[in-house]
Structure 1
Amino acid sequence: MSRKGTRSIFILLFFLNFGTLSSQTVQKEKQPLIVVLKNLSEKFNVSFSYVDNTINDKECIVPDASLSLEDILEFLKMETQLDFELLDNRFVVIKIPKKSKTNYRIQHLEEVVVTNYLTTGITKLNDGSITIKPQTFGILPGLIEPDILQTIQAIPGVLSADETVSNINIRGGTHDQNLLLWDGIKMYQSGHFFGLISAFNPYTTKRVNVYKNGTRAKYGDGISSIIDMQLPDDIDQELNAGIGFNLINADGYAKIPLSKKMELQLSTRRSITDFINTATFEQYSKRIFQDSDFEKSKNNRNSISRNETFYFYDVTAKFLYDITKKDKLRFHFLHVNNNLNYDEQSSINDRNESLNSKLSQRNSAIGMTYTRDWNNKLSMTSQIYVSNYDLDATNFDITNNQRLIQENEVYDGSVKLDINYSINNQFKINGGYQFTEVGISNLEDVNNPEFRSFIREVIKTHAVYAETGFLLNDAKTKLTLGGRLNQMSKFNLLLAEPRLSFSQRFLHYLRFEVLGEFKSQTTSQIIDLQNDFLGIEKRRWVLSNNDNIPVIKSKQASAGIHYSKNKLLISAEGYIKKVDGITTRSQGFQNQYQFVNSIGSYEIKGIDLLLNKQFSNTVSSWVSYSYNTNSYTFNELNNGEEFPNNVDIRHAVTFAGTYTNKNIKLALGLNWHSGKPTTAPSIHDNPDDEQITYSSPNSKNLDDYLRADCSATYAFNISDGARATVGASVWNVLNKKNIINSYYTLDIENKVNTVENESLGITPNVSFRVQF
């Protein structure tokens, strides 16, 4: 076949992959690439950075004028076989790709279904996953920076019932049922400010893959979702750095080339809350510390709380070394920390006492990855890592002369071997092995009365997996079949987990999708008492013991249809998920089941709908609606009958719009969902029995939740090599008082008191960033 014929096939495949291209483009004559770049620079106000030799003698068809910048860059990549990397929607780096052709075949298996899904930088792929690229992220209502775990909550079927990133509910699951991976390393802490801010710096994260179902066989754990965060992994010999701050924290990052074969990536972020008191900090503090021992000590008439300090920080580092063209070595390091200290002073028996209560939460991780490309078809990646999570609290109760020490610690060590074999453009095989050893300890020490408990569990898991990917019928059909086999010798348990992902495109703009999976996990979070860890971070990690804490297992299936044409996306996806092996302690009950330990299951059935319309290249608007029914079944509770899940939020609606025009980005959005289930005291409650008599579990609902957000950013050049961005946002513009949790207590007279936890009130924030 001639070179011209081969090029035409590549162009045709591109049209199939990116249904937004016009078929008339093929007929246009080619022009020098440098001329095309000049026109694009003027149209989109972007700067192209390249070595002259890279683009010399390169020609390409002029892209369709109606395409977005991201689509044009993908088109040019196919036309010229060069890499086009967009940085901060302003700078485009052009370079010769170092990867072999095999990597591009692999790329065909990950066909893009929708680009600019909701906003720029978010893409839907034909395996059912959503990809987020923070470097090209546009804007979302209420966000002026690409907070990773806040951003994924814009995806239909994903929400946080209490507005935190440490309690994300994906299709009815609890947060501990989400597997968070940072450069392949499992994370056990996800938030700063005890859940209001993602613990992962978005400016050093290149790509985030989110799976709600049909996950790859190489992923274990995470029965609700996979959130796979990946850092840049190629050495491009380009210096890239930035610094910035907002009303909560300041940060900086740098991507530093050390030589042609070595590169160092660094980032750090620290709160400014112990130096300056801002309006944003006041609102965050009010939200997080309400109903905690810290807040109660401040309101205690018999004591004085002082010398209060709170701060958080994170540090990441990645060292890249290309030993040869075929051998790559990578070292990874991350440390995340939250710290709260306060002194409680009281006068007892005419004697002043002052004691220090504190809470610290941290996650450290270190790993090494080695990749070998044996040839243009076969590659191998091996990784070893250790992830350590530690939650410590010392709580002094001066009035009762009591000191409580609590600690929750996790050690997770893993070795992985992953092999990819690409037979041809249409057939790919992936397989591997993973060994994981997880040890979790829990300590509780009380001095009055004397009590000490220390429990430590360890589980070793061996897993093998295999997967095949097919791309058939001129890239219209994508089928991935796989399975994972987990062996736990401690329980003499062998679990088989099949995985399925099927996608079929019709008429260039209509796609049908079927996803399915079996999954399991041995780690979960429980709550013993609501005032554990000062009532701020109540959840502690525990391991399955195959007795009163079983291995959690899930089955899920979904089917969806997606229509995408003329920048209009209509998407509908129905699903059913059944999860067995949950415990009441992992669900956070605050009713008659708060101190009951029982094993059960939940089943959720639902549908996610999305309508997304883009007008030209400047305006994007969408409305999403989710409906589901989510029910518990505990044989020992409620006479064995079903009752609503604690996060059975039946209806959820999001409406939003964004405007992007050169340097200005604006966003406005509205979030509404029905209230969470709650359990009210029975009308037959007897105040003389010194306990609360409840009505049927979760038979009542809180008031509906409503929140409006807005945000805006403006970018401008400081110099030829530096660009600044200023931003402002307001969370909960209407200052709506949303009750996100409600429970009941008895006072000293045995009267029932209602305790209500409020969401964030009106919360402004501003930011300033400079990128070099």
Structure 2
Amino acid sequence: MQKSSWSYIIFIICIFWSIKIQAQTSEEKIPLKVVLNNLSDQHKVQFNYQSDLLSEITVFPLPKKSTLNENLKHIESETSLRFTKIGASIYTITKPFIICGYLQDVISLHPLYGATIRGEIQTKITDDKGFFEIFVNSLDEAIEIRFLGFKTIKKQARFFTLEECATISMYEEKQQIDAVVVEGYLVRGIDKKSNGTTEINFSKFTSLPGLIETDVLQTVQALPGVLSIDETVSNINIRGGSHDQNLILWDDIKMYQSGHFFGLISSFNPQITKTATVITNGTDASYSDGVSGSIQMNTDKQIQSNFEGSLGVNFISTDVFADVPLGEKSSLQIAGRRSIHDFVNTPTYNVYFDRVAQQTEIANNVESVVNSNQNFNFYDTSLRWLYNPSEKDRIRFNFILINNNLTFDETLMTNLDLDTKTSSLSQNSIAAGLSYERQWNDHFSTHFNVYNTDYKLQAINANVLQQQQFLQENVVSETGIKFKGLYKWDNLFLEAGYQFIESEVVNTNDIDVPRFLRRDSEVLREHAFFVQSQYENNNRDFSVRPGIRLNYIDKFNVLLAEPRLSIRKKLGQHFQIEALGELKHQNTSQIVNFQNDFLGVEKRRWQLTDNYSIPILKSKQASLSLQFSNKGWLVDATGYNKEVVGITSQSQSFTTKYEFTKTTGNYNILGLDFLIRKQFKNLSSWLSYSYMINEYTFNNLEDIQFPSNFDATHSFNFGTTYSNNRLNISAGLNYRTGKPTSIPLQGNEILNQQVNFDVANNTRIPEFFRVDLSAIYKLKLSKGLRTEIGASVWNALNKENTINNYYRVGADNRPIKFSRESLGLTTNFMVRFYF
């Protein structure tokens, strides 16, 4: 037979066989109910199901020699039905539903890897994209989503999106307690919390006038009641207090140094700092110190599944940040920043350096001595290790290193020779902390934290005229341990804990010719127990948080009880009222012995209380505020009364009258903070006003009561910010009355070869006025790579603002006035890449 004939026959057979198979398939497929009845009779089992579940479902006949389980699995694969054994011989039949989604952090929008999704029949874990998929038997089945540090989600399957895999946002657990009551307090990313604090979230932050970096301590000065009397971040005044009365925490580590460039920029890397909380009153009972206020900075709490990083440079410094995953349960965050003056000299750096060095030994010396080779640099390094050994446990290790170095040469010019010596000033901090948090169950959690922080300020002043070297050192070393437990009900939580702090302060003055050495070392230990609770009703229109802290200072056998209170009540739909109160204390403060200490740049040194000449600082404060919000409008008015006792005259930055006086006293403030803000779609504008009467009381001085050196009676801040996905533009102005100062007594300016001052602080320096501008442009370059380009103008009108003055007796026996000026017109430029 020919080949073509065979091919024809095979083709005919295939067609016949295909038709036969199709006919046979159609004929052999039988109703599922019939198959199940046969299985019931054969294996003596019972199937329970809804009456309409199996209608019109047909299957192929089952293999005759298969077991019951094999037959049921065969039916499941063919129909997607599920058989569940609920008794010895009883099975239920259900039609499963598939629920899927992508979990993300509602704040950072990062996917949540390793979250647990639990149903009645399945448990799944989210992947690195936050994705999960789970089967449920019915729409009534309860689904639970858990992730450490976030609020657990519990709801029936019917309330999930069944048509698609939707994005599910999870909220941090703390937000259940400290809910946001005002979003975008000034701009997006600055929110008011229900406990009276203000939180700045830099992952949502847009921009503020004059800032192109998320500088934490510059940003907080935009808030009502917070300013810097000398325009530095190392002298932030919260409601009229001095900077040393602020508690500054970085991931629960107390920091004694806050600025680079000796106060012109923050010493905390903006790329690793994610949130900052400002507390002016009603402080959490678990915190001590900060009789004037608190600034708490926190880094990212979540472990990232993908590598993230950034690289940036501006006219002052360059920085780098990397978040590196280390397996599924751990990651490492590294951040570094360094000044760029060693590589390139910029106009911004020169303006900053002149601002720091003015009226100091760095810039001015006696006529026969010439200063040269001034060199300044700074750097900071931060490292964090995040580890979640289990779903319930979280371990965090934090490390930070901050350093500022200044050197310059002093050359004595004579007819015979040149004699050159080098003077230097360094300011550095090194700190580390370890925290462990465990979520025992849905109601109870514990938190343990230990830290050590070391601060050192050192100056070597080489006096070429007298062939003398003067060494000054101020060293602070502190260790802290805190343990607390938190138990939560639906609307109530109870927190209790213990804290131990050991602080050591060493001050050294060492002169080589003639030989003089003085070293003072003090150690103080404090134990504290605290307990507080918070209640918030179901409608979230009322919350109250009472607490008390008991402090025992063993060296003085002193027990201090400090109650704290926060109450919030919503009045109707648009109004709410808030009452805050607290008692606080602190054992450390800064003093100034002489204005030329530490080369006149960083004159303030830390000192421990001796409970006599340097008393324990104690404060009490009460405030009442009323807020109105509707259709983008916000009006917030807060009145407060604040008293701090135990201050020393050396801690109050006197540069005129009482500059060299040593005594103790107190100050009292009656103040009002007012804010009005309007938000449009992409625009936010605000005007804030602060009024205060800030007065000293020193019973041992000639002038017993007089205005405080930090009294800014009237302070205005106006700003507007436009932001979208590509562009942020900000403009604003700052105005305040000049700080109080003393002037020589007219007609009798000099007495006993010293300046004879009139009544203390009976006049003021000229008012302060500054206009700032900034712009940031965002651009996506490719997948996984984006950039930001920014420019800013500080003091755009180049206004000469005097921030301080002092007097010295001149050669003609007349007083000579010296003034320190703030930054003039200062531009900056920034480029940053995110990858």
How would you bin the TM-score normalised by the shorter chain?
A: 0.7 to 0.9
1:501 aligns to what SS in structure 2? strand
Deviation by residue 1:697-743 (Cα, 9 ceiling, x = unmatched) = 00001111100000001000111101100000000000000111111
Q: Percent identity?
A: 42
1:623 aligns to what?
687
Q: Which amino acid aligns with 2:184?
A: N
Q: How does 1:112-151 map to 2 (within 5 A)?
A: 112-151=180-219
Alignment counterpart, residue 54 of structure 1, candidates 127, 131, 134? 131
Q: How does 1:565-604 map to 2 (within 5 A)?
A: 565-604=630-669
The CA distance in 1 between the partners of 2:417 and 2:508, in whole Å, is 32
CA contact (8 A) 1:237 1:260 kept: yes
2:271 aligns to what?
203
The CA distance in 1 between the partners of 2:828 and 2:132, in whole Å, is 43
CA contact (8 A) 2:476 2:504 kept: yes
1:541 aligns with 2:595: no
1:758 aligns with 2:821: yes
CA contact (8 A) 1:33 1:55 kept: yes
How far residue 449 of structure 1 moved from its aligned partner, in angstroms, is: 3.5
Q: List gaps (5 residues or longer) in structure 2.
A: 1-98, 113-126, 136-149, 158-165
Superposition TM-score, scaled by structure 1 size? 0.87
The CA distance in 1 between the partners of 2:805 and 2:283, in whole Å, is 35
How far residue 638 of structure 1 moved from its aligned partner, in angstroms, is: 2.7
Residues 688 and 437 of structure 1: is their aligned pair in 2 closer, same or farther, counting only changes over 3 Å? closer
1:222 aligns to what?
290
Q: Which amino acid aligns with 1:238?
A: N
The CA distance in 1 between the partners of 2:169 and 2:538, in whole Å, is 31
How far residue 689 of structure 1 moved from its aligned partner, in angstroms, is: 3.1
How far residue 80 of structure 1 moved from its aligned partner, in angstroms, is: 12
Aligned length: 697
1:771 aligns with 2:834: yes
1:697 aligns with 2:697: no
Q: How does 1:112-511 map to 2 (within 5 A)?
A: 112-297=180-365, 300-348=366-414, 350-422=416-488, 424-472=489-537, 474-511=539-576
Residues 741 and 79 of structure 1: is their aligned pair in 2 closer, same or farther, counting only changes over 3 Å? farther
How far residue 108 of structure 1 moved from its aligned partner, in angstroms, is: 2.5
Q: List gaps (5 residues or longer) in structure 1.
A: 1-31, 38-45, 59-73, 82-92
Alignment counterpart, residue 642 of structure 1, candidates 680, 695, 705? 705
Deviation by residue 1:347-375 (Cα, 9 ceiling, x = unmatched) = 34613211110000001101211112211
The CA distance in 2 between the partners of 1:649 and 1:558, in whole Å, is 19
Deviation by residue 1:305-352 (Cα, 9 ceiling, x = unmatched) = 233221000000011111222222221110000000112122346132
1:12 aligns to what?
none
Q: Identify which range, 198-207 or 443-452, moves more after superposition.
A: 443-452
Q: Which amino acid aligns with 1:382?
A: F
How far residue 303 of structure 1 moved from its aligned partner, in angstroms, is: 2.6
Residues 768 and 263 of structure 1: is their aligned pair in 2 closer, same or farther, counting only changes over 3 Å? same
How far residue 690 of structure 1 moved from its aligned partner, in angstroms, is: 1.1
2:588 aligns to what?
523
Q: Which amino acid aligns with 2:675?
A: L
Residues 558 and 78 of structure 1: is their aligned pair in 2 closer, same or farther, counting only changes over 3 Å? farther
The CA distance in 2 between the partners of 1:704 and 1:443, in whole Å, is 39
1:26 aligns to what?
none
CA contact (8 A) 1:135 1:203 kept: no
1:685 aligns to what SS in structure 2? coil
2:220 aligns to what SS in structure 1? helix
Deviation by residue 1:197-255 (Cα, 9 ceiling, x = unmatched) = 00011211121111000010001000111111111122131321100010000000011
1:371 aligns to what SS in structure 2? strand
CA contact (8 A) 1:48 1:94 kept: no
The CA distance in 2 between the partners of 1:379 and 1:674, in whole Å, is 49
1:682 aligns to what?
745
Residues 460 and 237 of structure 1: is their aligned pair in 2 closer, same or farther, counting only changes over 3 Å? same
Quick one: higher RCO (CA 8 Å, sep 6+), 1 or 2?
A: 1
How far residue 119 of structure 1 moved from its aligned partner, in angstroms, is: 1.1
Q: Identify which range, 412-421 or 155-164, moves more after superposition.
A: 412-421
2:141 aligns to what?
none
The CA distance in 2 between the partners of 1:351 and 1:180, in whole Å, is 50
Larger Cα-atom Rg: 2
CA contact (8 A) 1:134 1:203 kept: no
The CA distance in 2 between the partners of 1:622 and 1:372, in whole Å, is 42
Deviation by residue 1:536-575 (Cα, 9 ceiling, x = unmatched) = 0000000000110010000000000111111110000000
CA contact (8 A) 2:304 2:323 kept: no
How far residue 663 of structure 1 moved from its aligned partner, in angstroms, is: 0.2
Calculate the aligned-residue CA RMSD, in Å: 2.5
2:363 aligns to what SS in structure 1? helix
1:194 aligns to what SS in structure 2? coil
How far residue 592 of structure 1 moved from its aligned partner, in angstroms, is: 2.9
Q: Identify which range, 202-211 or 478-487, moves more after superposition.
A: 202-211
How far residue 52 of structure 1 moved from its aligned partner, in angstroms, is: 7.0
1:284 aligns to what SS in structure 2? helix
How far residue 677 of structure 1 moved from its aligned partner, in angstroms, is: 0.3
Superposition TM-score, scaled by structure 2 size? 0.81
CA contact (8 A) 1:514 1:558 kept: yes
CA contact (8 A) 1:590 1:743 kept: yes
Residues 359 and 563 of structure 1: is their aligned pair in 2 closer, same or farther, counting only changes over 3 Å? same
Q: Which amino acid aligns with 1:426?
A: N
The CA distance in 1 between the partners of 2:639 and 2:790, in whole Å, is 37
Residues 567 and 489 of structure 1: is their aligned pair in 2 closer, same or farther, counting only changes over 3 Å? same
